[in-house]
Structure 1
Amino acid sequence: MSRARRVLVVAHGHPELSRGGAEQAAYDEYRALGAMPGHESFLLARAPLSGSHGGTPFSVYRAPSEFLFHSDMPDLFKLSQPIKHMVWSGFREFLLKLRPDVVHFHHYVFLGVELISEVRRTLPEAKIILTLHEFWALCHREGLMVRAQDDRLCSEATPRACHACFPAYTPEDFLLRNSFIKSHLAGVDAFVTPSEFLRQRYVDWGLPAHRVHTLENGQAQALTRVVDRPGTHPNRQFAFFGQINKWKGLDLLLDALAIVLDRRKEGDPLPTLNVHGANLENQEAAVRERISTKLEKLRPHVQFHGAYRKEDLPELMAEAGWVVVPSIWWENSPLVIQEAFSLGRPVIAANIGGMAEKVRHDVDGLHFRARDAGSLAATLEMALDDPTLWPRLRAGIANTPGIAEQVQKIMALVA
C-alpha cells in the first residue's frame, strides 16, 4: 500500500490568531486536504516571536498536525528572514522530520522568501506551490500598488516608479530587490492566483506565464441561497461586509449614500445600509473620526453593527438585497463577493482589478467608477428605482466553487 501524499501548507498567520483572507484560505486548504483520500496534511503558520516554546522556533498548536513558526521579519523591503539560523537550521530540520511531498506556500511575509529556496535545497524532489494573494513581491507599499505620494492607483512596478514612491531607496535598490525575490521564486513549480487580473500583473513582472495558473478560491463553508422574506424590498437594502480601513472604501459608500438621500423626493423609495465590519477602532485617528462622523450623521438610514462571525452570514445577508464592495485599491479576489453570490446576493462593485473581474456588470451585479462617490450614488439610485433589476441580476448569479474542488485542481498542478 503506497504512502499518503504528504502536503505541508505554509501561511503567514493562523486564522485563530491573525484574521485575514490569505490566512483563512490556507487553513481551509489544510482542512480540505486532510479529508481528501490519499493525502495527509500539515499546517505551518507564522506566529510572533516568544520565549515560551522551548528555544525552538516551532510549537504545536491545537492539533498534532498544526504547527506555529515563531518569527519576526523587520526586513519588509527584501521580504527576507533576518534570523538566518531559523531557515538553515530550524526550518531545515522541520522539513527533514516531516518530509512533505508537496509544500504549498500561501505567503512569505514575516516568514521570508528564503524558506522557498530551503525547501528546494533540502527536499529537491518535493513540489512547491505558491499562491500569490496580492502584490507584496511587486510593491513595497504593503502590496497595494497604490502610489505613496498621492494614493493614486499604480499600474507599473518598475524600479524608477518605485523609487518615486520611496525616495530613500534608489532605482538600483529596487532592481536588486526584484532580483533577490525572483531568485527565490525561481524554485516554485506552480504559482496560483485567485484572479486573472493578478496573474497578468505577475506575468508582466516577469514570472513565466506557463507556471502561473488562475484558480478561484473555494468556499469552505457550505452556503446556500437565502430565502427572501415576504413583504421586503431587497432592492432598497444595501450592506457592507468586511474589514474597515482606509482602502475598503466605506467612507466613499457613506458619501454616495448621503448624495442619494439628498436627491430623494417625497414618495421616492429610501435606502437602508447595514455596515458589518471590524477594526474601525484600530484605524488611525483621522480615518476613525471621519468614518464615525459620517455613520452618525446618516442615522437612521445607516446602522453600524461591528464585527460578525462567518456562521452568521446567511442571516445577515438575508437582511440585505445588495452587497456593496467599494474598495479604492485594486483588490484581487474579495471573499465577500463569493459569499454574496453563494447566498444569492447581487454585488455592486468598483470597476477595477479583481472586483471588475468577479462581478459581471448587468449580469450578476453592477459596476461603478472606482473612487467616484457620484458614480456610486447613481448606481445605488439605479438599484433603488428599478424593481426589476434586482431579481434579474440575482437570477444571473452562477454557482461558486467549493474548497474540495479547488484543492483537487491545485494538487493536479503538481501531480
Structure 2
Amino acid sequence: MRILLIATLFKPFFEGGAEISAHYFATWLVENGHEVSVLATAPTPADETWGTVEDGYRIYRVSIPRAYTPLEASRAPVWKKPIWHAQDLLDPRNEAVVGRVLDAVKPDVVNIHILQGIGYNALKALGKRNLPVVYTLHDLGLACVKMAMFIDGKECAGQCTTCALSSKVKTGYLRSIERLAFISPSTANFDKLRQFQPIDDYPCHRVLNANRYPLPEQPRVESDVPRLLYVGRLHVSKGVEVVLEALDSLSERYRFTMDILGAGPDEARWRETYGDRPWLRFHGHVTLEQVAEVMNQSDLLLVPSIWHENSPGVVIQALGLGLPVMGSNKGGIPELVSDGVNGLLVAPGDVAAWRDAIAGVLDAPERLTPLRAEAAAATFEFDRDYLGRKALAVLESVAR
C-alpha cells in the first residue's frame, strides 16, 4: 500500500513524543513492505527536500509560510502568535503546498500525525482528492490552539473564545473528508475531544503507538537505596514540582535518590530551588538509549502530571523494561498503570498524597518486587509488531 504520513516535525527535527511515534510507525511500515512517504516542515529553506529517500521512505520537507517556524514556537513573540494561528487555519498556501505533495505521491491512504504547523485547511486538499484519511490523535490540537488545554499553570475548564472558533473551522475541514477514521493511544483523549469535536461520527480506534524503544546494554545492579526517576519535559504541566516538594520533606527521614532526565522552560527555576539537594541529580536532555540505561538501574518511575496526558511514551518504555510506575490518576495514565498491579496511582497535584505514597514505598521497598514482576510479565502488550499491525488494520479498513 502507498501511504503518506503527515507530521509537522520529523526526524531529525524532533521535539516531542508525537514526532518520535510518527518516525517509528513510518519505519515499521517500510519494514513490512509498504511504500511510504512523509510530509513534514523544513526549519529553513536549506532543509527542504522533495522525495529524498531516508530510512526507506521518501521525505518531503517543505517550507510553509509562517510568522515563525514550529521549532521557534516556544521563543516566538506573543504578538506573532495570533498571526501564526490565523495562517495555520486560513492561508491558502497551506492547501497548495500539501496538494503538490499529494499529487506527487498519489497515496492510497493518508495518516495524519501532527497537522498544526502545516495547516488545518490542508484537510481540504485531502477532501478534494477523495483520499481516505486516518487521523492519529497525539494531543488536543483539534480542540485547543495550544494543543493541551493547559495555561497559566492549570487546566482549562473549557474552551476559550479563540479555541472555540478555531475548533469550529477545523470541524468544517474534517467534514470535507468522506472516508475518515481516528486513532488515539488512549480512551481518555477521545473522551476529552468528543466534548468539542464530532469524532463519534467516525470510526474511533484505541491503538498504542508502535514505538521501538532501545534496550539497556548494561546488566541491572540492585541497590539498598531506593532509586526514583523522572523522565520528561521540565514544565509545570508535568507536576515535577509536586514530587520535588514531597521528596524534600521526606529527605530527613529516608534515604533515596532522585534522577531527573529532561529539559524544559522550568528547569532553571527548579535547579535553583532544589539543585543543592544531595539526593537529587538533574541530567538535562538525554538520548532514548541513555533513558533505557537509567531506567534499568532505577526502582520506580514517577509520572506526576497535572494535565490531561494522552498516553505517555515514558510509561510504556518503563513498563516494557519491567520498571514499576507511580503516576497521576489522570488522563491516559490509568489506562497503562494498574494500581497495585504494575504501579501505583496518586491524586494529581496533591503534594500530601504524593508524599504519603512515596513514603509507603520507602517504608517497605519490597512492595516494588511484585509490581516489577507484573510489569515484566506484561511487556507483550507493547510489542511493536502487534501494535503496528493494529494501526495498519485501521488504515486498510479506511482505504477499502
TM class, shorter-length: 0.7 to 0.9
Partner of 1:33: 29
TM-score by length of 2: 0.86
Q: Distance in 1 between matches of 2:231 and 2:190?
A: 26
Aligned AA (2:192) = R
Alignment RMSD, CA only?
Answer: 2.4
What secondary structure sits across from 2:40 in the alignment?
A: strand
What secondary structure sits across from 1:106 in the alignment?
A: strand
Structure 1 position 277 matched with structure 2 position 257: no
**Residue 166 of structure 2, aligned match among 165, 172, 177:** 177
Change (3 A) 1:31 1:116: same
Structure 1 position 132 matched with structure 2 position 113: no
What secondary structure sits across from 2:275 in the alignment?
A: helix
More helix by share: 2
Kindly state the Cα deviation for residue 79 of structure 1 after the two structures are TM-superposed. 7.2
Structure 1 position 401 matched with structure 2 position 385: no
What secondary structure sits across from 1:219 in the alignment?
A: coil
Q: Distance in 1 between matches of 2:282 and 2:317?
A: 20
Partner of 2:122: 115
1:306-385 equivalence runs, <5 A = 306-385=284-363
Q: Distance in 2 between matches of 1:383 and 1:25?
A: 32
Change (3 A) 1:76 1:385: farther
Structure 1 position 304 matched with structure 2 position 282: yes
Please say if residues 224 and 342 of structure 1, whose CA atoms lie closer than 8 Å, have aligned partners that are also in contact.
no
- Give a deviation string over 1:344-378, Cα, whole Å, max 9, x none: 10001111111232211111111122112221111
Kindly state the Cα deviation for residue 73 of structure 1 after the two structures are TM-superposed. 4.2
Partner of 1:154: 156
Q: Distance in 1 between matches of 2:43 and 2:216?
A: 37
What secondary structure sits across from 1:68 in the alignment?
A: strand
Structure 1 position 16 matched with structure 2 position 1: no
Structure 1 position 241 matched with structure 2 position 231: yes
Change (3 A) 1:226 1:346: farther
Q: Distance in 1 between matches of 2:151 and 2:286?
A: 32
Partner of 2:72: none
Aligned AA (1:322) = L
Q: Distance in 2 between matches of 1:409 and 1:341?
A: 20
**Residue 42 of structure 2, aligned match among 37, 47, 54:** 47
- Give a deviation string over 1:379-399, Cα, whole Å, max 9, x none: 111111113310011122222
Change (3 A) 1:314 1:175: closer
Q: Distance in 2 between matches of 1:113 and 1:341?
A: 35
Partner of 1:190: 181
Change (3 A) 1:364 1:72: farther
| Structure 1: gaps spanning 5 or more residues | 164-168
Number of aligned pairs? 373
Kindly state the Cα deviation for residue 275 of structure 1 after the two structures are TM-superposed. 1.3
Kindly state the Cα deviation for residue 221 of structure 1 after the two structures are TM-superposed. 3.0
What secondary structure sits across from 1:340 in the alignment?
A: helix
Q: Identify which range, 93-102 or 77-86, moves more after superposition.
A: 77-86
Q: Distance in 2 between matches of 1:15 and 1:253?
A: 32
Aligned AA (2:269) = R
Kindly state the Cα deviation for residue 329 of structure 1 after the two structures are TM-superposed. 1.3
- Give a deviation string over 1:314-362, Cα, whole Å, max 9, x none: 3211221001111221111111000100111000111111123221111
Please say if residues 276 and 308 of structure 1, whose CA atoms lie closer than 8 Å, have aligned partners that are also in contact.
yes
Aligned AA (1:84) = P
- Give a deviation string over 1:88-134, Cα, whole Å, max 9, x none: 3x322221121110110101110111222202212x2x321111111
| Structure 2: gaps spanning 5 or more residues | 68-82
Q: Distance in 1 between matches of 2:66 and 2:357?
A: 43
Structure 1 runs (4+) deviating above 4 angstroms are: 72-79, 224-227
Aligned AA (1:297) = D
Kindly state the Cα deviation for residue 61 of structure 1 after the two structures are TM-superposed. 5.3
Aligned AA (1:274) = D
Q: Identify which range, 335-344 or 183-192, moves more after superposition.
A: 183-192
Please say if residues 324 and 348 of structure 1, whose CA atoms lie closer than 8 Å, have aligned partners that are also in contact.
yes
Please say if residues 238 and 323 of structure 1, whose CA atoms lie closer than 8 Å, have aligned partners that are also in contact.
yes
Q: Distance in 1 between matches of 2:272 and 2:35?
A: 51
What secondary structure sits across from 2:183 in the alignment?
A: strand
What secondary structure sits across from 1:204 in the alignment?
A: coil
What secondary structure sits across from 1:366 in the alignment?
A: strand
Change (3 A) 1:62 1:270: farther
- Give a deviation string over 1:264-285, Cα, whole Å, max 9, x none: 1xxxx41111111124xxx2xx
Q: Distance in 2 between matches of 1:233 and 1:72?
A: 56
Aligned AA (2:230) = F
Please say if residues 94 and 122 of structure 2, whose CA atoms lie closer than 8 Å, have aligned partners that are also in contact.
no
What secondary structure sits across from 2:332 in the alignment?
A: helix
Kindly state the Cα deviation for residue 215 of structure 1 after the two structures are TM-superposed. 0.8
What secondary structure sits across from 2:193 in the alignment?
A: helix
Q: Which has the larger radius of gyration?
A: 1
What secondary structure sits across from 2:134 in the alignment?
A: strand
Please say if residues 223 and 342 of structure 1, whose CA atoms lie closer than 8 Å, have aligned partners that are also in contact.
no
Q: Distance in 2 between matches of 1:246 and 1:182?
A: 30
Change (3 A) 1:118 1:327: same
TM-score by length of 1: 0.83
What secondary structure sits across from 1:29 in the alignment?
A: helix
